[in-house]
Chains A and B, each alone.
Chain A
């Protein structure tokens, strides 16, 4: 058991587990964000809960960050190892004849997502951390001295999506996310050894998830851009 992460299968298993964890997180993130379209008050309440409940803030959030960092670092480790396994390329390689573009370019779609996360953290996570842990304002209010001012979360979200270029960047990033998930969803299940009579259905569900979730995020970004 001790050497499992030193093996190719162990590394892939760990990679797949982190991917499955991140896909669950993504679904949860989307479920909350879509509330900003259909029920702004509930969106604000849930955002405040997520941002202040200690179990989420101090237990689940570090696990999430660890999962994200592990997924990216292991992605790079695997890429480097795989490049070493073929040091001379083919003069002609018809990769499209036997595999999807998405499966061959996970590192590039992953890098695009990593770049997006930098922007996303700059937009939302760092300001939140600053307000809560540097300014010490845990109220979640637009004006911390005025309880009637309401929660700031929706206003913050809407403010970010006023900028058209930011919306374009978000949309492009979600397209890369869809490409990454189109291979990653089913690949994760294969890596943990799940290839059986349910695989065909899982592949179908994977496609729905991989396209549906990013499309939903795109809808949210465009909705706030055009409505505010």
Chain B
């Protein structure tokens, strides 16, 4: 037996456009670039600035991940009124 309380709240939630781009930019891009790209990058030889290419790529994503999260924060989440403090 299951009940689904607050159906109206949930339905109203779905009615408002959920900004899927936040998830795509914040998690999707770093995940593809860091995890899914590993098999490809592993096969790239050579070095960049003295680091193996795949290692340099990961180091670059320390900054780029922060850039992705900054984009989500400044373009959307900074203006959220439900997160006081």
A, B from the same assembly: no
